[in-house]
Protein backbone atom coordinates (compact mmCIF):
# COMPACT_ATOMS: atom_id res chain seq x y z
CA UNK A 1 0.00 0.00 0.00
CA UNK A 2 1.41 3.39 -0.84
CA UNK A 3 1.60 6.37 1.48
CA UNK A 4 -1.35 8.18 -0.08
CA UNK A 5 -3.65 5.22 0.54
CA UNK A 6 -2.46 4.85 4.14
CA UNK A 7 -3.03 8.57 4.80
CA UNK A 8 -6.47 8.47 3.17
CA UNK A 9 -7.46 5.39 5.19
CA UNK A 10 -6.35 7.06 8.42
CA UNK A 11 -8.22 10.30 7.71
CA UNK A 12 -11.35 8.33 6.75
CA UNK A 13 -11.23 6.28 9.93
CA UNK A 14 -10.84 9.40 12.08
CA UNK A 15 -13.74 11.07 10.28
CA UNK A 16 -15.96 8.03 10.83
CA UNK A 17 -15.06 7.93 14.53
CA UNK A 18 -15.83 11.64 14.92
CA UNK A 19 -19.17 11.27 13.14
CA UNK A 20 -20.13 8.33 15.35
CA UNK A 21 -19.20 10.30 18.47
CA UNK A 22 -21.35 13.26 17.41
CA UNK A 23 -24.27 11.01 16.51
CA UNK A 24 -24.15 9.42 19.95
CA UNK A 25 -24.16 12.82 21.67
CA UNK A 26 -27.05 14.02 19.50
CA UNK A 27 -29.07 10.90 20.30
CA UNK A 28 -28.98 11.72 24.04
CA UNK A 29 -29.02 15.54 24.30
CA UNK A 30 -30.40 15.62 27.85
CA UNK A 31 -27.42 13.70 29.17
CA UNK A 32 -24.81 15.84 27.42
CA UNK A 33 -26.52 19.18 28.14
CA UNK A 34 -27.12 18.73 31.87
CA UNK A 35 -24.88 21.07 33.81
CA UNK A 36 -23.13 19.98 36.98
CA UNK A 37 -22.54 22.75 39.51
CA UNK A 38 -20.98 22.80 42.97
CA UNK A 39 -21.68 25.65 45.35
CA UNK A 40 -19.07 26.41 48.03
CA UNK A 41 -20.33 27.82 51.33
CA UNK A 42 -18.18 28.68 54.32
CA UNK A 43 -19.33 32.15 55.39
CA UNK A 44 -22.13 32.10 57.99
CA UNK A 45 -23.50 35.43 56.81
CA UNK A 46 -23.99 34.06 53.27
CA UNK A 47 -26.11 31.01 54.14
CA UNK A 48 -29.48 32.47 53.06
CA UNK A 49 -27.93 34.12 50.01
CA UNK A 50 -26.38 30.85 48.78
CA UNK A 51 -29.54 28.85 49.44
CA UNK A 52 -31.47 31.47 47.47
CA UNK A 53 -28.96 31.20 44.63
CA UNK A 54 -29.39 27.44 44.50
CA UNK A 55 -33.19 27.75 44.37
CA UNK A 56 -32.93 30.41 41.65
CA UNK A 57 -30.57 28.13 39.73
CA UNK A 58 -32.98 25.19 39.91
CA UNK A 59 -35.92 27.41 38.90
CA UNK A 60 -33.94 29.12 36.16
CA UNK A 61 -33.10 25.92 34.31
CA UNK A 62 -36.61 24.50 34.52
CA UNK A 63 -36.31 22.29 37.58
CA UNK A 64 -33.99 19.80 39.22
CA UNK A 65 -34.10 17.41 36.24
CA UNK A 66 -32.06 19.88 34.20
CA UNK A 67 -29.09 20.42 36.52
CA UNK A 68 -27.00 18.46 39.00
CA UNK A 69 -26.14 20.56 42.04
CA UNK A 70 -23.89 19.90 45.01
CA UNK A 71 -23.48 22.15 48.03
CA UNK A 72 -20.29 21.76 50.04
CA UNK A 73 -20.32 23.46 53.44
CA UNK A 74 -17.42 23.98 55.82
CA UNK A 75 -16.32 26.41 58.46
CA UNK A 76 -18.68 28.72 60.35
CA UNK A 77 -21.55 28.24 57.85
CA UNK A 78 -22.08 24.66 59.02
CA UNK A 79 -23.55 25.88 62.34
CA UNK A 80 -26.64 27.10 60.45
CA UNK A 81 -27.37 23.48 59.51
CA UNK A 82 -27.22 21.99 63.02
CA UNK A 83 -30.74 20.58 63.48
CA UNK A 84 -31.03 22.01 66.99
CA UNK A 85 -30.16 25.56 65.84
CA UNK A 86 -31.48 25.75 62.26
CA UNK A 87 -34.22 28.25 61.57
CA UNK A 88 -37.41 26.90 59.95
CA UNK A 89 -36.68 28.50 56.56
CA UNK A 90 -33.29 26.82 56.31
CA UNK A 91 -34.76 23.49 57.43
CA UNK A 92 -37.46 23.74 54.77
CA UNK A 93 -35.03 24.65 51.99
CA UNK A 94 -32.62 21.86 52.89
CA UNK A 95 -35.48 19.37 52.87
CA UNK A 96 -36.60 20.54 49.43
CA UNK A 97 -33.05 20.46 48.07
CA UNK A 98 -32.59 16.95 49.38
CA UNK A 99 -35.79 15.85 47.58
CA UNK A 100 -34.54 17.59 44.41
CA UNK A 101 -31.34 15.54 44.48
CA UNK A 102 -28.96 18.28 45.61
CA UNK A 103 -25.91 16.72 47.27
CA UNK A 104 -25.49 18.32 50.67
CA UNK A 105 -21.93 17.68 51.85
CA UNK A 106 -20.66 18.72 55.27
CA UNK A 107 -16.92 18.96 55.83
CA UNK A 108 -15.71 16.15 58.05
CA UNK A 109 -13.00 18.36 59.55
CA UNK A 110 -15.51 21.08 60.43
CA UNK A 111 -17.85 18.50 61.94
CA UNK A 112 -15.02 17.35 64.21
CA UNK A 113 -14.09 20.92 65.13
CA UNK A 114 -17.72 21.75 65.96
CA UNK A 115 -18.16 18.42 67.73
CA UNK A 116 -21.21 17.51 65.61
CA UNK A 117 -22.24 14.29 63.89
CA UNK A 118 -24.30 13.72 60.75
CA UNK A 119 -27.27 12.78 62.92
CA UNK A 120 -27.12 16.25 64.50
CA UNK A 121 -27.27 18.00 61.12
CA UNK A 122 -30.45 18.54 59.16
CA UNK A 123 -31.60 15.42 57.29
CA UNK A 124 -30.08 14.87 53.85
CA UNK A 125 -26.46 15.65 54.62
CA UNK A 126 -23.54 13.40 53.78
CA UNK A 127 -20.08 13.74 55.26
CA UNK A 128 -17.15 14.90 53.17
CA UNK A 129 -14.90 12.64 55.24
CA UNK A 130 -11.62 13.89 53.79
CA UNK A 131 -12.66 17.53 54.06
CA UNK A 132 -14.81 20.08 52.28
CA UNK A 133 -12.03 21.45 50.11
CA UNK A 134 -11.09 17.93 49.04
CA UNK A 135 -14.72 17.27 48.06
CA UNK A 136 -14.80 20.53 46.09
CA UNK A 137 -11.70 19.49 44.16
CA UNK A 138 -13.12 16.00 43.52
CA UNK A 139 -16.34 17.44 42.10
CA UNK A 140 -14.43 19.91 39.92
CA UNK A 141 -12.33 17.05 38.55
CA UNK A 142 -15.62 15.34 37.62
CA UNK A 143 -16.66 18.33 35.50
CA UNK A 144 -18.65 20.32 38.04
CA UNK A 145 -18.60 24.09 37.59
CA UNK A 146 -17.45 25.86 40.76
CA UNK A 147 -19.53 28.69 42.24
CA UNK A 148 -18.70 30.60 45.40
CA UNK A 149 -21.28 33.36 45.78
Statement: residue 140 has pLDDT above 70: yes
Average pLDDT over residues 38-65: 97
- In 3D space, the residue among 112, 47, 113, 52 whose CA is nearest the CA of residue 85 turns out to be 47
* 8 has a pLDDT exceeding 90: no
pLDDT in tens, 91-121: 999 999 999 999 999 999 999 999 999 999 9
> What pLDDT is attached to residue 33?
74
pLDDT (average), residues 58-81: 97
Is 66 within 8 Å of 31 (Cβ atoms)? no
pLDDT at 128 over 90: yes
**φ, ψ dihedrals at 71, nearest 5°:** -125, 120
Q: Taking the domains of the chain in order of start, what are their residue ranges?
A: 1-28, 34-147
CATH of domain 34-147: 3.40.1260.10
Strands, sheet with 35-41, edge to edge from the N-terminal-most edge strand: 125-128, 103-107, 67-73, 35-41, 145-147
Model confidence pLDDT, tens digit, residues 27-42: 454 455 789 999 999 9
Amino acid sequence: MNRRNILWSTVSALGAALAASRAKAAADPAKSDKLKVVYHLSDAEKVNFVLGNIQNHIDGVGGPDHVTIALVIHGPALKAFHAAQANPDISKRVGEFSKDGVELAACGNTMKAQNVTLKELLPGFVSAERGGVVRLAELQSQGYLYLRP
